[in-house]
Amino acid sequence: MKKEIIIKKNSTFPCDVAVFNNIQLKLESGYILNNFQINFKTYGKLNENKSNVVLICHALTADQFVADNHPITNKKGWWSHMVGPNKPIDTNKYFVICSNVLGGCMGSTGPKEINPETELPFGLEFPAITIKDMVDVQKKLIDSLNIRKLFAVIGASMGAMQVLQWAMDYPEKIENTIHIAGALKHSTQNIAFHEVGRQAIMSDPNWHNGNYLEKKTKPERGLSVARMIAHITYLSEEALQKKFGRKLQSRDLISFGFDADFQIESYLRYQGKSFVDRFDANSYLYMTRAMDYFDISDSFKKIMNFNLENNQHIHHCIISFTSDWLFPTSENKEIVKILNQSGKKVSFTEVETDKGHDSFLLDEPEFYRTISGFLGGNFKNT
Protein backbone atom coordinates (compact mmCIF):
# COMPACT_ATOMS: atom_id res chain seq x y z
CA MET A 1 0.00 0.00 0.00
CA LYS A 2 1.68 3.12 -1.25
CA LYS A 3 1.92 6.21 0.93
CA GLU A 4 1.07 9.20 -1.19
CA ILE A 5 -0.35 12.69 -1.13
CA ILE A 6 -2.15 13.76 -4.29
CA ILE A 7 -3.15 17.36 -4.83
CA LYS A 8 -5.68 17.85 -7.56
CA LYS A 9 -8.76 19.75 -8.65
CA ASN A 10 -11.95 18.61 -6.98
CA SER A 11 -14.44 17.20 -9.45
CA THR A 12 -17.59 18.17 -7.49
CA PHE A 13 -16.73 21.61 -6.12
CA PRO A 14 -14.67 24.42 -7.68
CA CYS A 15 -11.70 24.00 -5.33
CA ASP A 16 -8.62 21.85 -4.77
CA VAL A 17 -8.32 18.66 -2.79
CA ALA A 18 -5.39 17.02 -1.02
CA VAL A 19 -5.80 13.25 -0.87
CA PHE A 20 -3.74 11.47 1.78
CA ASN A 21 -3.47 7.77 0.97
CA ASN A 22 -2.12 5.32 3.55
CA ILE A 23 -0.89 8.11 5.73
CA GLN A 24 -1.65 7.49 9.36
CA LEU A 25 -3.44 10.22 11.23
CA LYS A 26 -3.81 9.45 14.89
CA LEU A 27 -6.71 11.42 16.27
CA GLU A 28 -6.86 12.77 19.81
CA SER A 29 -9.41 10.06 20.63
CA GLY A 30 -6.87 7.39 19.66
CA TYR A 31 -8.68 6.42 16.45
CA ILE A 32 -6.42 6.10 13.42
CA LEU A 33 -7.51 7.39 10.03
CA ASN A 34 -5.43 5.84 7.23
CA ASN A 35 -7.01 7.59 4.27
CA PHE A 36 -8.44 11.06 4.32
CA GLN A 37 -8.85 14.07 2.14
CA ILE A 38 -9.02 17.78 2.69
CA ASN A 39 -10.70 20.23 0.35
CA PHE A 40 -9.22 23.69 0.18
CA LYS A 41 -9.38 26.92 -1.71
CA THR A 42 -6.61 29.45 -2.37
CA TYR A 43 -6.76 33.14 -3.29
CA GLY A 44 -3.98 35.41 -4.50
CA LYS A 45 -0.44 34.41 -5.45
CA LEU A 46 2.32 32.80 -3.45
CA ASN A 47 5.31 35.17 -3.56
CA GLU A 48 8.81 34.07 -4.42
CA ASN A 49 10.11 33.47 -0.92
CA LYS A 50 6.73 32.08 0.21
CA SER A 51 6.45 34.69 2.93
CA ASN A 52 2.91 35.89 2.24
CA VAL A 53 0.80 32.89 3.25
CA VAL A 54 -2.32 33.58 5.30
CA LEU A 55 -4.21 30.58 6.63
CA ILE A 56 -7.87 31.17 7.44
CA CYS A 57 -9.53 28.75 9.86
CA HIS A 58 -13.28 28.72 9.38
CA ALA A 59 -16.02 28.73 12.01
CA LEU A 60 -18.56 26.01 12.87
CA THR A 61 -20.73 26.03 9.75
CA ALA A 62 -18.51 27.91 7.30
CA ASP A 63 -16.23 26.30 4.71
CA GLN A 64 -13.38 26.84 2.26
CA PHE A 65 -15.44 29.16 0.04
CA VAL A 66 -14.28 32.30 1.80
CA ALA A 67 -14.45 34.88 -0.94
CA ASP A 68 -16.16 33.51 -4.04
CA ASN A 69 -19.65 32.25 -4.70
CA HIS A 70 -20.69 29.22 -2.73
CA PRO A 71 -21.25 26.26 -5.09
CA ILE A 72 -24.42 25.11 -3.31
CA THR A 73 -26.15 28.32 -2.26
CA ASN A 74 -24.67 30.42 -5.08
CA LYS A 75 -24.42 33.23 -2.53
CA LYS A 76 -21.27 35.24 -1.86
CA GLY A 77 -18.60 33.56 0.29
CA TRP A 78 -18.87 33.98 4.06
CA TRP A 79 -15.94 36.40 4.27
CA SER A 80 -16.14 38.03 0.84
CA HIS A 81 -16.12 41.51 2.47
CA MET A 82 -12.89 40.63 4.22
CA VAL A 83 -10.89 38.67 1.67
CA GLY A 84 -10.12 39.76 -1.89
CA PRO A 85 -8.18 42.32 -3.92
CA ASN A 86 -7.89 45.57 -1.91
CA LYS A 87 -9.96 44.07 0.91
CA PRO A 88 -8.65 43.99 4.53
CA ILE A 89 -7.03 40.61 3.83
CA ASP A 90 -5.72 41.81 0.50
CA THR A 91 -5.20 39.02 -2.01
CA ASN A 92 -3.01 41.35 -4.10
CA LYS A 93 -0.54 41.01 -1.24
CA TYR A 94 -1.28 37.74 0.50
CA PHE A 95 -1.71 34.16 -0.59
CA VAL A 96 -4.79 33.00 1.27
CA ILE A 97 -5.52 29.34 2.04
CA CYS A 98 -8.70 28.05 3.63
CA SER A 99 -9.47 24.37 4.03
CA ASN A 100 -12.70 22.67 4.97
CA VAL A 101 -12.05 21.19 8.42
CA LEU A 102 -11.77 17.48 9.07
CA GLY A 103 -15.28 16.27 9.87
CA GLY A 104 -16.83 19.02 7.75
CA CYS A 105 -19.24 18.50 4.89
CA MET A 106 -17.82 20.41 1.94
CA GLY A 107 -15.65 17.63 0.57
CA SER A 108 -13.22 16.98 3.44
CA THR A 109 -13.36 13.60 5.14
CA GLY A 110 -16.38 13.65 7.42
CA PRO A 111 -19.45 11.66 8.47
CA LYS A 112 -21.20 12.04 5.11
CA GLU A 113 -18.27 10.67 3.05
CA ILE A 114 -17.90 7.00 2.16
CA ASN A 115 -16.05 4.83 4.65
CA PRO A 116 -13.58 2.88 2.46
CA GLU A 117 -13.87 -0.12 4.78
CA THR A 118 -17.66 -0.52 4.57
CA GLU A 119 -18.25 1.37 1.31
CA LEU A 120 -21.16 3.09 3.03
CA PRO A 121 -21.34 6.66 4.40
CA PHE A 122 -19.53 6.86 7.74
CA GLY A 123 -22.52 8.22 9.67
CA LEU A 124 -21.90 7.71 13.37
CA GLU A 125 -19.05 5.28 12.57
CA PHE A 126 -17.04 8.42 11.99
CA PRO A 127 -14.58 9.03 14.84
CA ALA A 128 -14.94 12.03 17.15
CA ILE A 129 -12.95 15.00 15.91
CA THR A 130 -11.28 17.65 18.05
CA ILE A 131 -9.92 21.11 17.30
CA LYS A 132 -6.43 19.64 17.64
CA ASP A 133 -7.24 17.04 14.95
CA MET A 134 -8.44 19.78 12.60
CA VAL A 135 -5.18 21.68 13.09
CA ASP A 136 -3.04 18.56 12.67
CA VAL A 137 -4.63 18.01 9.28
CA GLN A 138 -4.17 21.66 8.28
CA LYS A 139 -0.49 21.31 9.18
CA LYS A 140 -0.24 18.23 6.95
CA LEU A 141 -1.89 20.19 4.14
CA ILE A 142 0.51 23.13 4.52
CA ASP A 143 3.48 20.73 4.50
CA SER A 144 2.19 19.00 1.40
CA LEU A 145 2.03 22.39 -0.34
CA ASN A 146 5.70 22.89 0.57
CA ILE A 147 4.94 25.95 2.67
CA ARG A 148 7.37 26.26 5.53
CA LYS A 149 5.99 29.29 7.28
CA LEU A 150 2.64 31.00 7.65
CA PHE A 151 2.72 34.78 7.75
CA ALA A 152 -0.55 34.69 9.66
CA VAL A 153 -3.17 32.27 10.96
CA ILE A 154 -6.59 33.89 11.29
CA GLY A 155 -9.86 32.60 12.68
CA ALA A 156 -13.03 33.59 14.48
CA SER A 157 -15.16 31.52 16.87
CA MET A 158 -14.32 27.84 16.21
CA GLY A 159 -11.65 29.27 13.88
CA ALA A 160 -10.20 31.19 16.83
CA MET A 161 -9.91 27.92 18.75
CA GLN A 162 -7.87 26.54 15.86
CA VAL A 163 -5.65 29.63 15.94
CA LEU A 164 -4.81 29.00 19.60
CA GLN A 165 -4.16 25.33 18.86
CA TRP A 166 -1.77 26.33 16.06
CA ALA A 167 0.10 28.59 18.47
CA MET A 168 0.38 25.72 20.95
CA ASP A 169 1.28 22.88 18.59
CA TYR A 170 3.20 24.46 15.70
CA PRO A 171 4.52 27.84 16.88
CA GLU A 172 7.62 27.54 14.72
CA LYS A 173 5.39 27.53 11.65
CA ILE A 174 3.67 30.84 12.32
CA GLU A 175 4.63 34.49 12.56
CA ASN A 176 1.38 36.22 13.45
CA THR A 177 -2.02 35.18 14.71
CA ILE A 178 -5.37 36.93 14.62
CA HIS A 179 -7.77 35.45 17.13
CA ILE A 180 -11.31 36.80 16.83
CA ALA A 181 -14.10 36.22 19.35
CA GLY A 182 -12.84 33.00 20.90
CA ALA A 183 -11.99 31.50 24.27
CA LEU A 184 -9.67 29.07 26.02
CA LYS A 185 -12.61 26.74 26.56
CA HIS A 186 -16.17 26.34 25.41
CA SER A 187 -18.32 27.68 28.24
CA THR A 188 -21.03 25.74 30.09
CA GLN A 189 -23.72 27.91 28.53
CA ASN A 190 -22.32 27.31 25.05
CA ILE A 191 -22.24 23.53 25.60
CA ALA A 192 -25.85 23.79 26.79
CA PHE A 193 -26.97 25.52 23.59
CA HIS A 194 -25.11 22.98 21.47
CA GLU A 195 -26.75 20.13 23.33
CA VAL A 196 -30.22 21.50 22.61
CA GLY A 197 -29.28 21.71 18.94
CA ARG A 198 -28.01 18.15 18.87
CA GLN A 199 -31.12 16.88 20.64
CA ALA A 200 -33.25 18.59 18.01
CA ILE A 201 -31.38 16.70 15.27
CA MET A 202 -31.34 13.34 17.04
CA SER A 203 -35.04 13.46 17.88
CA ASP A 204 -35.99 14.01 14.25
CA PRO A 205 -37.42 10.61 13.06
CA ASN A 206 -35.59 11.13 9.78
CA TRP A 207 -32.26 11.03 11.53
CA HIS A 208 -32.37 7.19 11.76
CA ASN A 209 -29.50 6.95 14.27
CA GLY A 210 -27.32 8.84 11.87
CA ASN A 211 -27.98 6.53 8.91
CA TYR A 212 -30.30 8.89 7.05
CA LEU A 213 -28.18 8.91 3.87
CA GLU A 214 -28.74 5.17 3.37
CA LYS A 215 -32.47 5.73 3.93
CA LYS A 216 -32.31 8.50 1.32
CA THR A 217 -33.73 11.09 3.67
CA LYS A 218 -32.51 13.97 5.84
CA PRO A 219 -33.38 15.17 9.37
CA GLU A 220 -34.27 18.55 7.98
CA ARG A 221 -36.66 19.58 10.75
CA GLY A 222 -34.18 18.81 13.49
CA LEU A 223 -31.24 20.46 11.78
CA SER A 224 -33.23 23.57 11.02
CA VAL A 225 -34.36 23.89 14.66
CA ALA A 226 -30.72 23.45 15.74
CA ARG A 227 -29.77 26.29 13.42
CA MET A 228 -32.56 28.53 14.69
CA ILE A 229 -31.42 28.14 18.31
CA ALA A 230 -27.79 28.70 17.38
CA HIS A 231 -28.65 31.73 15.31
CA ILE A 232 -30.19 33.49 18.31
CA THR A 233 -26.91 33.05 20.18
CA TYR A 234 -24.99 34.68 17.33
CA LEU A 235 -26.99 37.91 17.63
CA SER A 236 -27.59 40.25 20.54
CA GLU A 237 -30.78 41.30 22.26
CA GLU A 238 -30.18 44.87 21.17
CA ALA A 239 -29.67 43.91 17.53
CA LEU A 240 -32.79 41.72 17.53
CA GLN A 241 -34.82 44.49 19.08
CA LYS A 242 -33.53 47.04 16.60
CA LYS A 243 -33.93 44.86 13.52
CA PHE A 244 -37.25 43.16 14.26
CA GLY A 245 -38.85 44.52 17.40
CA ARG A 246 -42.40 43.14 17.55
CA LYS A 247 -43.02 43.84 13.89
CA LEU A 248 -45.49 41.51 12.19
CA GLN A 249 -44.66 39.52 9.08
CA SER A 250 -46.76 40.37 5.96
CA ARG A 251 -49.88 40.98 8.01
CA ASP A 252 -51.54 43.79 9.91
CA LEU A 253 -53.08 41.75 12.70
CA ILE A 254 -51.98 38.78 14.77
CA SER A 255 -53.50 35.50 13.57
CA PHE A 256 -54.35 33.88 16.92
CA GLY A 257 -52.51 30.82 15.65
CA PHE A 258 -48.99 29.43 15.29
CA ASP A 259 -48.01 30.87 11.95
CA ALA A 260 -44.94 33.05 11.79
CA ASP A 261 -46.81 36.17 12.89
CA PHE A 262 -43.69 38.02 13.97
CA GLN A 263 -40.86 38.99 11.66
CA ILE A 264 -38.33 37.39 13.98
CA GLU A 265 -40.11 34.03 13.64
CA SER A 266 -40.14 34.24 9.89
CA TYR A 267 -36.48 35.25 9.87
CA LEU A 268 -35.43 32.30 12.05
CA ARG A 269 -37.50 29.86 9.98
CA TYR A 270 -35.78 31.14 6.86
CA GLN A 271 -32.34 30.79 8.49
CA GLY A 272 -33.16 27.21 9.51
CA LYS A 273 -34.56 26.23 6.15
CA SER A 274 -31.72 27.61 4.06
CA PHE A 275 -29.17 25.97 6.34
CA VAL A 276 -30.34 22.40 5.68
CA ASP A 277 -29.62 22.80 1.95
CA ARG A 278 -25.94 23.29 2.56
CA PHE A 279 -25.10 21.48 5.79
CA ASP A 280 -25.01 17.87 6.86
CA ALA A 281 -26.76 17.04 10.14
CA ASN A 282 -24.17 14.50 11.35
CA SER A 283 -21.39 16.91 10.53
CA TYR A 284 -23.19 19.46 12.72
CA LEU A 285 -23.15 16.95 15.59
CA TYR A 286 -19.42 16.32 15.16
CA MET A 287 -18.47 19.99 14.78
CA THR A 288 -20.43 21.14 17.83
CA ARG A 289 -18.86 18.30 19.82
CA ALA A 290 -15.38 19.37 18.75
CA MET A 291 -16.08 22.86 20.12
CA ASP A 292 -17.55 21.47 23.35
CA TYR A 293 -14.47 19.33 23.95
CA PHE A 294 -12.17 22.31 23.47
CA ASP A 295 -10.55 23.28 26.77
CA ILE A 296 -6.95 24.45 26.77
CA SER A 297 -7.24 26.63 29.85
CA ASP A 298 -4.43 24.70 31.60
CA SER A 299 -2.33 23.51 28.71
CA PHE A 300 -2.17 26.87 26.95
CA LYS A 301 -0.75 28.53 30.03
CA LYS A 302 1.76 25.74 30.56
CA ILE A 303 2.96 25.68 26.97
CA MET A 304 3.18 29.44 26.65
CA ASN A 305 5.32 29.53 29.77
CA PHE A 306 7.41 26.51 28.88
CA ASN A 307 8.29 26.78 25.20
CA LEU A 308 10.11 30.03 25.52
CA GLU A 309 12.24 29.80 22.43
CA ASN A 310 10.04 28.66 19.59
CA ASN A 311 6.99 30.80 20.31
CA GLN A 312 8.55 34.04 21.46
CA HIS A 313 8.57 35.56 17.97
CA ILE A 314 4.81 35.36 17.34
CA HIS A 315 2.79 38.57 17.40
CA HIS A 316 -0.74 37.78 18.53
CA CYS A 317 -3.74 39.99 17.90
CA ILE A 318 -6.85 39.27 19.94
CA ILE A 319 -10.14 40.92 18.97
CA SER A 320 -13.49 40.79 20.77
CA PHE A 321 -16.87 42.47 20.30
CA THR A 322 -18.73 44.34 23.05
CA SER A 323 -22.12 42.69 22.42
CA ASP A 324 -20.82 39.13 21.94
CA TRP A 325 -22.28 37.02 24.75
CA LEU A 326 -21.21 33.69 23.26
CA PHE A 327 -17.50 34.50 23.43
CA PRO A 328 -17.49 37.62 25.60
CA THR A 329 -14.62 40.08 25.96
CA SER A 330 -13.80 38.72 29.43
CA GLU A 331 -12.96 35.30 27.95
CA ASN A 332 -10.84 36.84 25.20
CA LYS A 333 -9.00 38.91 27.77
CA GLU A 334 -8.06 35.71 29.61
CA ILE A 335 -5.95 34.78 26.60
CA VAL A 336 -4.35 38.23 26.52
CA LYS A 337 -3.51 37.85 30.19
CA ILE A 338 -1.77 34.52 29.75
CA LEU A 339 0.17 35.79 26.74
CA ASN A 340 1.28 38.88 28.64
CA GLN A 341 2.18 36.89 31.75
CA SER A 342 4.36 34.65 29.65
CA GLY A 343 6.04 37.63 28.00
CA LYS A 344 4.57 37.20 24.53
CA LYS A 345 3.89 39.92 21.98
CA VAL A 346 0.16 40.49 22.17
CA SER A 347 -2.19 43.23 21.03
CA PHE A 348 -5.81 43.35 22.02
CA THR A 349 -8.82 45.43 21.12
CA GLU A 350 -12.52 45.29 21.83
CA VAL A 351 -14.64 46.55 18.94
CA GLU A 352 -17.82 48.36 19.91
CA THR A 353 -20.85 46.96 18.11
CA ASP A 354 -24.38 45.82 18.91
CA LYS A 355 -24.30 42.97 16.39
CA GLY A 356 -23.24 40.19 18.76
CA HIS A 357 -21.01 37.24 17.95
CA ASP A 358 -21.90 37.49 14.26
CA SER A 359 -20.06 40.83 14.06
CA PHE A 360 -17.07 39.04 12.59
CA LEU A 361 -19.13 38.23 9.50
CA LEU A 362 -20.57 41.71 9.10
CA ASP A 363 -19.45 45.05 7.81
CA GLU A 364 -17.67 46.55 10.83
CA PRO A 365 -15.25 49.26 9.69
CA GLU A 366 -13.28 49.37 12.96
CA PHE A 367 -12.85 45.59 12.84
CA TYR A 368 -11.71 45.70 9.19
CA ARG A 369 -9.29 48.49 9.98
CA THR A 370 -7.71 46.45 12.78
CA ILE A 371 -7.25 43.36 10.61
CA SER A 372 -5.82 45.15 7.59
CA GLY A 373 -3.65 47.38 9.78
CA PHE A 374 -2.29 44.54 11.90
CA LEU A 375 -1.44 42.47 8.83
CA GLY A 376 -0.04 45.46 6.91
CA GLY A 377 1.98 46.74 9.86
CA ASN A 378 3.54 43.34 10.47
CA PHE A 379 4.03 42.54 6.79
CA LYS A 380 6.13 45.69 6.45
CA ASN A 381 8.18 44.57 9.41
CA THR A 382 9.06 41.22 7.86
Partner 1 sequence: MNIKSIRKDWELIQKLIEKDRTVLDIGCGDGGLIKKLMKDNNSKAQGLEIDGNLVRDSISSGLIVVQGNAEKDLDQYNDESFDYVILSQTLQAMNKPKKVLEEMLRIGGKVIVSFPNFGHWNVRAQLLIKGRMPVTKNLPYSWYETPNIHFFTLKDFQEMCNSSNIFIEKSIGLASSGKQFEIENSLLANLYTHEAIFLLSKKKYEKIKIQDKQKIINPSRIRVV
Q: Which residues bind partner 1 (CB under 8 A)?
A: 315, 317, 333, 336-337, 340-341, 343, 345-352, 366, 369-370, 372-374, 376-378, 380-381
Catalytic residue among 58, 179, 194, 357: 357
Is 250 assigned a catalytic role? Answer: no
Long-range Cβ contacts of 43-48 (<8 Å, 24+ apart) = 43/67, 43/68, 43/83, 43/84, 43/91, 43/95, 43/96, 44/91, 44/92, 44/93, 44/94, 44/95, 44/96, 45/95, 46/95, 46/147, 47/95
Catalytic residue among 136, 324, 342, 358: 324
Catalytic residue among 157, 236, 283, 342: 157
3-state secondary structure of 39: strand
Closer CB to partner 1, residue 263 or residue 349? 349
E strand map for 34-149:
36-43, 53-57, 83-84, 89-90, 95-99, 114-115, 120-121
- Cβ atoms within 10 Å, residue 104: 29
Is 324 assigned a catalytic role? Answer: yes
- Residue 85: exposure state from Cβ atoms within 10 A (0-12, 13-18, ≥19): exposed
Smallest separation (angstroms) from partner 1 to the CB of 379? 9
CA–CA dist 92, 228 (Å, integer)? 37
Smallest separation (angstroms) from partner 1 to the CB of 185? 19
Closer CB to partner 1, residue 11 or residue 381? 381
Closer CB to partner 1, residue 217 or residue 340? 340
Smallest separation (angstroms) from partner 1 to the CB of 340? 4
For residue 295, the 8-state DSSP code is: B
Smallest separation (angstroms) from partner 1 to the CB of 142? 24
Smallest separation (angstroms) from partner 1 to the CB of 367? 9
Is 143 assigned a catalytic role? Answer: no
Closer CB to partner 1, residue 169 or residue 363? 363
Closer CB to partner 1, residue 116 or residue 376? 376
Known catalytic residues?
157, 324, 357
